[in-house]
Amino acid sequence: MTLFTAVYRCGYPGVSAPDVFDSKGQAASITFLARPFADSAMLAVANDCQDAASWHTRHPTP
């Protein structure tokens, strides 16, 4: 079991957002995790990061 699997099974909120494209045009993401019941703070941080970058407007190369 990976760390992320253990965290999700324990009920910690998480969200993934586009982060970067590699040299082949494939997308990668960043995962934000928060303590229990801190969903709104985690989503605010993820939203701020997404607003500061333009990764969410791009599409991976097929």
What does the pLDDT read at residue 7? 67
- The domain ranges of the chain are 16-57
pLDDT digits (tens, 9 = 90+) for 3-50: 666 766 788 888 888 788 888 888 788 888 899 899 999 999 988 988
CA nearest to 31, candidates 61, 59, 3, 9: 3
Determine if the pTM surpasses 0.75: no
Q: In 1-62, which ranges are E strands?
A: 14-21, 27-33
Q: Which residue has the higher pLDDT, 2 or 12?
A: 12
Unique residue bearing structure tokens 């494209």: 21
Distance between CA atoms of 38 and 46, rounded to whole angstroms?
13
